[in-house]
A and B are shown apart, each in its own frame.
Chain A
Amino acid sequence: MSWLKLFRGKQAEMPASASQAKERLQIVLAHERIGRKGDDFLPKLQKEIVELVAKHVSIDPGRVNISLERGGDLSTLAIAVELPGPEPVRHAS
């Protein structure tokens, strides 16, 4: 089997994938270990933010988007609340 390699010629060197495996594992496990202590906090956070914003502006709860980007040293929590345009606003009398 291996002598056939002589004829195939050397294939392009692949970058070592093991180091990528380690890095990815370290990141994902760092987050999973935190999450293990409690339940996923995102649904609750979303609900509370919607309630808070709704106190001041009338918003459509379906138009609130929360995303979490997990990084090695830094995670970003992005909250996008779509505020209503001028026309559909109806003030309760």
Chain B
Amino acid sequence: MAQVIVVTSGKGGVGKTTSSAAFATGLAQAGKKTVVIDFDVGLRNLDLIMGVERRVVFDIVNVISGEAKLSQALIRDKRVDTLSILPASQTRDKDALTKEGVATVIEELSKDFDYILCDSPAGIEKGALLALYFADQAIVVTNPEVSSVRDSDRILGVLQSRSKRAEEKKDPVKEHLLVTRYDPARVEKGEMLKLEDIQEILRIPLLGVVPESESVLKASNTGNPVIMDAESSAGQAYKDAVARFLGEERPMRFTDAEKKGFLSRLFGGRAA
């Protein structure tokens, strides 16, 4: 039976799709059969971040409405052969998704995959609720910023009350905190919420910290999930997070500010 993981946050723009793409790729690189589903119907973007936008023929709405078979809509990744992508529809709206339809898709995917990642849209409306409804585990993506932390708390409340596991009074959805766009230098100056503060407020186990990094934009520009950029701090941070998710113990990295030498102080320069 596959594990269903939702990548969610409540707030938009915090890095859900970047994290979904990185995480799915990481799990697949670790040999797990992984599929990542874009639930943002009408605002499809996972295809771009994964670099498969030119290979989209059918989407999840076509599958639900019976216009295409699941196998026709799934896109096999060319870089990692255990990875598939199920795109969202760009032309329909969120009402095209139904609970029964999504249930059927997930059930069918469960037969062939170890992990089903659901990339949630922002907000707490239909698309987001359906993305989290079937989850066994949740990765809550949070930026060190008040509105993001508040929305994460809200989405945790939704997970605990409106997911299938909650409704059926089963074991609760396992929650993981993924802090992204973390800037240790600003934290040191007291300008940004500390990791410890975010953990203290949200009270869920920390899966990883992804530092603010220029490589994330570079990755999305080229359609390569940032985890494939092994040189970059963000790529390494995602690799660590995936390893922890799979049960490995790894110390947190990129959480302290780098000491700047005289030259970099003089000429600036940012972390890759």
* A interface residues with partner B (beta carbon < 8 Å): 1-3, 14, 16-19, 21-22, 24-26, 28-29, 32-33, 36
Report chain B residues within 8 Å CB of A21: 145-146, 193, 197
Q: Let me know if B266 is at the binding interface, CB within 8 A.
A: yes
User: Dominant SS at the B interface?
Assistant: helix
Query: Would you mind naming 5 contact pairs between A and B with Cβ atoms under 8 Å apart?
Result: A17-B191, A18-B197, A26-B201, A33-B157, A36-B157
Report chain A residues within 8 Å CB of B157: 33, 36
Q: Let me know if B47 is at the binding interface, CB within 8 A.
A: no
Q: Using a CB-CB cutoff of 8 Å, which residues 144-176 of chain B contact chain A?
A: 145-146, 149-150, 153-154, 157, 161
Contact of B193 among A22, A28, A33, A36 (CB under 8 A): A22
* CB of B264, distance to nearest CB on chain A (Å): 8
Report chain B residues within 8 Å CB of A17: 190-191
| Complex Cα gap A24–B150 (Å) | 10
User: Dominant SS at the A interface?
Assistant: helix
A-B contact count (CB 8 A): 48
Q: With A28-B150, A29-B153 as given contacts, are A16 and B268 in contact (CB-CB < 8 Å)?
A: no
Q: Let me know if B259 is at the binding interface, CB within 8 A.
A: no
Q: Let me know if B187 is at the binding interface, CB within 8 A.
A: yes
A25 touches B146 (CB 8 A): yes
Report chain A residues within 8 Å CB of B193: 18, 21-22
A25 touches B268 (CB 8 A): no
Query: Which 8 residue pairs across A and B have the least CB separation, nearest first?
Result: A16-B190, A2-B268, A1-B268, A22-B197, A36-B157, A18-B190, A21-B146, A3-B266
Report chain B residues within 8 Å CB of A19: 190
Report chain B residues within 8 Å CB of A28: 150
Report chain A residues within 8 Å CB of B200: 22
| Complex Cα gap A14–B192 (Å) | 13
Contact of B194 among A1, A14, A18 (CB under 8 A): A18
Report chain B residues within 8 Å CB of A29: 150, 153, 201
* CB of B49, distance to nearest CB on chain A (Å): 29
Contact of B187 among A3, A18, A33 (CB under 8 A): A18
A2 touches B190 (CB 8 A): no
Contact of A2 among B146, B150, B154, B265 (CB under 8 A): B265
